[in-house]
Chain A
Amino acid sequence: MDNAVSNSFVEARHLGKHVATREGVLTLLDDINFKIAAGTSVAILGASGSGKTTLLGLLAGLDTPSNGTVILNNNNLNDFDEDGRAMLRAELVGFVFQNFQLLFGLTALENVMLPLELAQLPHPRKKAEELLKRVGLGERMQHYPNQLSGGEQQRCAIARAFSMRPRILFADEPTGNLDSKTGKRIIDLLFELNAEQGTTLIMATHDAQISRLCDQLIHLEAGRIVEQVNSPGKGNSYE
Chain B
Amino acid sequence: MNDLTPAGRQRRGAGFYWAMSWRMLWRDWRGGELNILAIGLVIAVTSITAVGFFTDRIERGLQMQSAELIAADLAVTSRRADVYDYIKEARQNDFQVATTQQFRSVVLGDDRPQLVEVKAVSEAYPLRGALRISDNAFGADETTGGIPSAGDVWVEARLLQMLDAGIGDSIKLGNSTFKIRKVLRYEPDRAGDLFSLAPRILMNIADLDATGLISTGALVNYRVLIAGERSSINSYHKLIENNLRAGEELVTFEQGRPELNTALRSAQQFLGLAALISVLLAGVAVASVANRFSVRHLGTSAMFRCLGASQNTIIQLFSLEMLWLSLIASSAGCILGMLTQFVITQLLDQLVLTQLPPPTFKAVLLGYATGILMLTGFALPPLLSLRHVPPLHVLRKDVTSRPVSSWLLYLAVVLCMSLLLYWQIGDLRLVATVTGGIVLTLAVLAVTAFLLIMLLNRLRGSAGVAWRFGLANISRRPAGSVIQIVAFGLGIMVMLLLSAVRSDLLNDWQASLPENAPNHFVINVQSDQLAAITDYFKAMGVANTRMYPMVRARLVEINGKKVSADDYESERARHLVTREFNLSWAESIQLDNELVAGPWWERDDFGKPLLSLEVKLADTLRLKLGDVASFDVNGTRLDFTVSNLRSVDWDSFNINFFTVVPPGVLEDKPASWVTSVYLDSEQRQKLGDLVRAFPNVTLIDVEVIMKRVRGIISRVSLAIEFIFLFTILAGLAVLFAAIQSKQDERRFESAVLRTLGASRKTLMLGLLAEFTTLGALSGLLAGLSATSLVWLLAEYVFKFNYQLDFTLALSGIVSGTIIVVIAGTLGTRSVLTNPPIKTLRQNTV
B11 close to A (CB within 8 Å): yes
Q: Which of A113-132 contact B (CB under 8 A)?
A: 114-115, 117-121
Residue among B4, B305, B311, B396 making CB contact with A91, cutoff 8 Å = B4
Given contacts A118-B309, A120-B16, A165-B1, contact A110 B27 (CB under 8 A): yes
Q: A residues bordering B, Cβ < 8 Å? A: 53, 56-57, 60-63, 82-83, 86-91, 93, 95, 97, 99-106, 110, 114-115, 117-121, 145-146, 153, 164-165, 167, 172, 177
In the complex, besides A87-B310, A90-B2, A165-B2, 13 extra interface pairs with C-beta distance below 8 angstroms are A62-B395, A63-B390, A82-B311, A86-B310, A90-B4, A91-B1, A91-B4, A101-B394, A103-B300, A118-B20, A119-B3, A121-B2, A164-B2
B307 close to A (CB within 8 Å): yes
Distance A146 CA – B751 CA, assembled complex (angstroms): 15
Instruction: List the 9 closest pairs (A to B, CB-CB), nearest first.
Output: A90-B308, A105-B31, A90-B4, A104-B844, A83-B310, A62-B391, A119-B4, A62-B392, A115-B307
Whether the Cβ atoms of B309 and A86 lie closer than 8 Å is yes
Whether the Cβ atoms of B2 and A119 lie closer than 8 Å is yes
B215 close to A (CB within 8 Å): no
Whether the Cβ atoms of A89 and B20 lie closer than 8 Å is no
Residues of chain A within 8 A of B391, CB atoms compared: 61-63, 82, 86, 89
Given contacts A101-B303, A119-B4, A165-B1, contact A146 B308 (CB under 8 A): no
Residue among B31, B299, B307 making CB contact with A89, cutoff 8 Å = B307
Distance A63 CA – B394 CA, assembled complex (angstroms): 11
Distance A93 CA – B303 CA, assembled complex (angstroms): 13
- Chain A, Cβ-Cβ closest to B397: A99
Distance A100 CA – B303 CA, assembled complex (angstroms): 11
Interface centre among A56, A105, A117, by most chain B C-beta atoms within 10 angstroms, is A105
Residues of chain B within 8 A of A115, CB atoms compared: 307-308
**How distant is A223 from chain B, measured CB to nearest CB, in Å?**
15
Q: Which of B1-57 contact A (CB under 8 A)?
A: 1-6, 8-9, 11-12, 16, 20, 23, 27-28, 30-31, 33
- The 0/1 profile, CB within 8 Å of A marked 1, for residues 808-845 of chain B is 00000000000000000000000000000010011111
B195 close to A (CB within 8 Å): no
- Chain A, Cβ-Cβ closest to B313: A118
Residues of chain B within 8 A of A62, CB atoms compared: 306, 390-392, 394-395
Whether the Cβ atoms of A104 and B305 lie closer than 8 Å is no
Residues of chain A within 8 A of B303, CB atoms compared: 101, 103, 114
Whether the Cβ atoms of B845 and A102 lie closer than 8 Å is yes
Distance A60 CA – B394 CA, assembled complex (angstroms): 12
- Chain B, Cβ-Cβ closest to A82: B311
Residue among B12, B306, B313, B845 making CB contact with A104, cutoff 8 Å = B845
Residue among B1, B23, B392, B842 making CB contact with A57, cutoff 8 Å = B392
Residues of chain B within 8 A of A104, CB atoms compared: 31, 842, 844-845
Whether the Cβ atoms of A56 and B844 lie closer than 8 Å is no
Residue among A101, A110, A119 making CB contact with B8, cutoff 8 Å = A119
- Chain B, Cβ-Cβ closest to A104: B844
**How distant is B232 from chain A, measured CB to nearest CB, in Å?**
54
Residues of chain A within 8 A of B311, CB atoms compared: 82-83
Distance A60 CA – B308 CA, assembled complex (angstroms): 11
Whether the Cβ atoms of A99 and B390 lie closer than 8 Å is no
Could you pull out 28 A-B pairs where Cβ atoms are within 8 angstroms? A53-B395, A60-B306, A83-B312, A86-B305, A86-B308, A86-B310, A86-B391, A87-B9, A87-B310, A88-B308, A90-B4, A101-B299, A101-B394, A102-B845, A103-B844, A104-B844, A105-B27, A114-B303, A115-B307, A117-B23, A118-B20, A118-B304, A119-B3, A119-B8, A120-B11, A120-B12, A153-B844, A172-B395
Distance A200 CA – B842 CA, assembled complex (angstroms): 31
- Chain B, Cβ-Cβ closest to A153: B844
Distance A114 CA – B303 CA, assembled complex (angstroms): 10
Whether the Cβ atoms of B33 and A105 lie closer than 8 Å is yes
**How distant is B30 from chain A, measured CB to nearest CB, in Å?**
7
Distance A100 CA – B9 CA, assembled complex (angstroms): 27
Distance A53 CA – B30 CA, assembled complex (angstroms): 34
Whether the Cβ atoms of B844 and A102 lie closer than 8 Å is yes
Q: B residues bordering A, Cβ < 8 Å? A: 1-6, 8-9, 11-12, 16, 20, 23, 27-28, 30-31, 33, 299-300, 303-313, 390-392, 394-396, 838, 841-845
- Chain A, Cβ-Cβ closest to B844: A104
- Chain A, Cβ-Cβ closest to B28: A105
Distance A126 CA – B1 CA, assembled complex (angstroms): 17
Distance A173 CA – B841 CA, assembled complex (angstroms): 18
Whether the Cβ atoms of B843 and A99 lie closer than 8 Å is yes
Distance A17 CA – B266 CA, assembled complex (angstroms): 69
Residue among A83, A99, A102, A164 making CB contact with B4, cutoff 8 Å = A164
Residues of chain B within 8 A of A53, CB atoms compared: 395-396
Distance A165 CA – B30 CA, assembled complex (angstroms): 30
Distance A62 CA – B2 CA, assembled complex (angstroms): 20
Residue among A86, A91, A101, A119 making CB contact with B845, cutoff 8 Å = A101
**How distant is A59 from chain B, measured CB to nearest CB, in Å?**
11
Distance A153 CA – B33 CA, assembled complex (angstroms): 22
Residues of chain B within 8 A of A88, CB atoms compared: 308
- Chain A, Cβ-Cβ closest to B19: A117
Residues of chain B within 8 A of A90, CB atoms compared: 2, 4, 9, 307-309
Residues of chain B within 8 A of A121, CB atoms compared: 2-3
Whether the Cβ atoms of A89 and B308 lie closer than 8 Å is yes
Distance A98 CA – B412 CA, assembled complex (angstroms): 39
- Chain A, Cβ-Cβ closest to B310: A83
Residues of chain A within 8 A of B313, CB atoms compared: 118
Distance A82 CA – B300 CA, assembled complex (angstroms): 17
Residues of chain B within 8 A of A83, CB atoms compared: 310-312
Whether the Cβ atoms of B844 and A146 lie closer than 8 Å is yes
Residue among B2, B392, B844 making CB contact with A101, cutoff 8 Å = B844
Whether the Cβ atoms of A100 and B843 lie closer than 8 Å is yes
Residue among B23, B309, B844 making CB contact with A100, cutoff 8 Å = B844
Residues of chain B within 8 A of A87, CB atoms compared: 4, 6, 9, 308, 310
Distance A88 CA – B9 CA, assembled complex (angstroms): 11
Residues of chain B within 8 A of A95, CB atoms compared: 306, 394
Residue among A97, A105, A119 making CB contact with B30, cutoff 8 Å = A105
Whether the Cβ atoms of A119 and B299 lie closer than 8 Å is no
Distance A101 CA – B393 CA, assembled complex (angstroms): 10
Whether the Cβ atoms of B392 and A117 lie closer than 8 Å is no
Whether the Cβ atoms of B844 and A145 lie closer than 8 Å is yes
**How distant is A165 from chain B, measured CB to nearest CB, in Å?**
6
